[in-house]
């Protein structure tokens, strides 16, 4: 069968397709997010630390320029002095460098997160094919990247030109100012430049991130044939089928247990089986809300006791209900009479609790058709 073209890939990527792409190192990425985060951290750090850094650096420059005549003729002493001043300058800039390093490490979490893939490190011979390389350059995605690069360069270049033009007076005046004042004005100019560039980068990120997410989803789209094939593979995997059935059983059990407090009565064996029944005028017949044997029966009885749901011991009826009626189904007509006795007792018990009087006695012998009662242990 011929390989289907991209035009036929109209279905969104499945969870399995997305997971496979992640394993291969394919996650949505935006270089602009990382650049924006680094810039905004640099701007914030410079605005907070800039005055202190400029003061320290101007002091280092003054110390560097104050050299006595004797030291100027000692190369070793001058090199030592230069190394000391350089180390102090580097130490002064360390907080800024540290903030930038943290920004670089955290930037992947804003889109795509950290994702290490050994497959992405393996050599791909197809990347060495010059024809395919040219194809990538002239492809639609290559044209889009070129347009983005030109637009980004134009925007940032325009912002830089605007900053230089608007601040040309202060920029020219700095060369005639004393060193401390010149460095202070340079710091203000850098802060303003950072804010302008960050604002421009914010616009770029606002456009690039949605585009990258759309492009990633579009790239991983599947054809109808791929969707059908994946479904067949999943259905044929015994481990996956077993896991799906297990999750379905667990979900059904949770829903069943959540319905126990709404029951009118729990019919018990008394220890092996428990069946929760409910009835109101809107039902055609009493309905089984929950049922279970062994440990599940114990949990049903515990939930009933905690919720104040009455329990009636009727071994034959409990086994018959457990065997022949599924959860959320109404009882069969052959069990109407037996269940009616239980419900009548429950209603009498409710009336006694409200009005008092003689305590009603539970039904002594509930008659259940023998053919509906399974042997103990086979219900």
| More confident position, 194 or 158 | 158
Give Dmax over CA atoms of the chain in angstroms.
Answer: 120
Query: Is 78 within the bounds of a domain?
Result: yes
Question: What is the band of 378 on the pLDDT scale with cuts at 50, 70, 90?
Answer: low
103-107, 134-138, 168-172, 338-342: which is most confident = 338-342
Token pair 């189904």 in the structure block, residue: 329
Stretch 203-209: mean pLDDT, rounded? 86
Stretch 178-194: mean pLDDT, rounded? 73
- The domain containing residue 335 runs over which residues? 257-359
Question: What is the band of 48 on the pLDDT scale with cuts at 50, 70, 90?
Answer: confident
Whether residue 175 sits in one domain with residue 29: yes
Whether residue 276 sits in one domain with residue 208: no
> What pLDDT score does 237 carry?
63
Helix (H, G, I), strand (E, B) or coil at 301: helix
Residue 329, Ramachandran bin (φ over 0: left; ψ between -120 and 50: alpha; else beta):
beta
265 - beta bridge partners? Answer: 277
Whether residue 37 sits in one domain with residue 175: yes
Separation of alpha carbons 277 and 289, rounded Å: 6
Whether residue 285 sits in one domain with residue 201: no
| More confident position, 72 or 261 | 261
Stretch 38-49: mean pLDDT, rounded? 81
Query: Is 308 within the bounds of a domain?
Result: yes
Separation of alpha carbons 247 and 176, rounded Å: 76
Whether residue 214 sits in one domain with residue 79: yes
Question: What is the band of 369 on the pLDDT scale with cuts at 50, 70, 90?
Answer: confident
Token pair 């023998």 in the structure block, residue: 370
Nearest to 39 by CA among 187, 199, 152: 199
Residues 341, 347, 348: CA angle, nearest 5 degrees = 90
Whether residue 147 sits in one domain with residue 43: yes
Whether residue 153 sits in one domain with residue 90: yes
In this structure, of 26-35, 117-126, 251-260, the range with the lowest mean pLDDT score is: 117-126
Query: Is 167 within the bounds of a domain?
Result: yes
Sign of CA dihedral 194, 197, 200, 201: negative
pLDDT above 60 for 116: no
pTM: 0.45
- Domain harbouring 262, CATH code: 3.40.1690.10
Q: Is-contact 319 268, C-beta < 8 A?
A: no
Token pair 């011979």 in the structure block, residue: 125
Whether residue 157 sits in one domain with residue 62: yes
> What pLDDT score does 264 carry?
92
Token pair 């009727």 in the structure block, residue: 314
Query: Is 235 within the bounds of a domain?
Result: no
Nearest to 348 by CA among 333, 334, 358: 358
Number of helical (H) and strand (E) elements in the chain, helices listed first: 14, 4
> What pLDDT score does 242 carry?
77
How many C-beta atoms lie closer than 10 Å to residue 153's C-beta? 10
Whether residue 216 sits in one domain with residue 262: no
Q: Rounded to whole angstroms, what are the CA distances from 89 to 44, 46, 64? A: 20, 15, 11
Query: Is 7 within the bounds of a domain?
Result: no
Structure-block tokens of residue 17: 């397709």
Q: What is the pLDDT of residues 235-282, one digit of tens each?
A: 666 777 778 788 888 898 999 999 999 999 999 987 789 999 999 888
Q: What is the pLDDT of residues 314-337, one digit of tens each?
A: 989 999 999 999 999 999 999 999
Whether residue 208 sits in one domain with residue 271: no
Whether residue 196 sits in one domain with residue 270: no
Query: Is 296 within the bounds of a domain?
Result: yes
pLDDT above 50 for 4: no
Whether residue 184 sits in one domain with residue 58: yes
> What pLDDT score does 2 carry?
41
Provide the domain count of the chain. Answer: 2
Q: What is the pLDDT of residues 296-314, one digit of tens each?
A: 999 999 999 999 999 999 9
Question: What is the band of 355 on the pLDDT scale with cuts at 50, 70, 90?
Answer: confident
Token pair 């509930």 in the structure block, residue: 366
> What pLDDT score does 130 carry?
61
Query: Is 165 within the bounds of a domain?
Result: yes
């Amino acid at each position: 069968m011929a390989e289907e073209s991209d035009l036929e890939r109209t279905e969104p990527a499945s969870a399995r397709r997305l997971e496979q792409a992640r394993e291969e190192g394919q996650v949505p990425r935006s270089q602009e997010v990382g650049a924006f985060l680094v810039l905004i951290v640099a701007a914030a750090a410079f605005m907070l630390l800039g005055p202190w850094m400029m003061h320290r650096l101007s002091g280092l420059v003054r110390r560097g320029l104050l050299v006595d005549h004797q030291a100027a003729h000692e190369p070793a002493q001058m090199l030592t002095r230069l190394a000391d001043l350089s180390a102090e300058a580097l130490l002064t800039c360390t907080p800024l460098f540290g903030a930038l390093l943290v920004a670089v490490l955290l930037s992947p979490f804003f889109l795509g997160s950290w994702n290490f893939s050994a497959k992405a490190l393996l050599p791909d011979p197809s990347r060495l094919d010059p024809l395919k390389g040219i194809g990538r350059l002239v492809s639609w995605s290559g044209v889009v990247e070129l347009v983005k690069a030109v637009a980004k360069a134009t925007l940032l270049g325009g912002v830089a030109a605007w900053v230089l033009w608007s601040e040309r007076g202060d920029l020219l005046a700095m060369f005639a100012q004393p060193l401390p004042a010149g460095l202070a004005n340079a710091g203000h100019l850098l802060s303003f430049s950072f804010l302008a560039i960050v604002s421009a980068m914010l616009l770029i990120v606002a456009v690039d991130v949605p585009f990258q997410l759309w492009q990633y989803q579009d790239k991983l789209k599947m054809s109808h044939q791929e969707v059908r094939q994946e479904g067949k593979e999943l259905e044929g995997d015994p481990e996956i089928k077993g896991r799906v059935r297990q999750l379905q059983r667990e979900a059904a059990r949770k829903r069943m247990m959540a319905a126990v407090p709404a029951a009118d009565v729990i019919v018990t064996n008394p220890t092996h089986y428990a069946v929760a029944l409910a009835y109101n005028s809107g039902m055609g017949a009493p309905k089984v809300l929950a049922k279970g044997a062994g440990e599940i029966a114990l949990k049903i009885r515990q939930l009933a006791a905690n919720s104040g749901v009455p329990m009636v011991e009727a071994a034959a009826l409990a086994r018959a209900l457990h065997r022949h009626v599924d959860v959320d189904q109404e009882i069969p007509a052959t069990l109407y009479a037996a269940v009616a006795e239980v419900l009548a007792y429950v209603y009498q018990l409710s009336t006694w609790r409200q009005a008092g009087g003689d305590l009603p006695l539970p039904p002594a012998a509930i008659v259940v058709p023998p053919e509906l009662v399974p042997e103990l242990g086979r219900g």
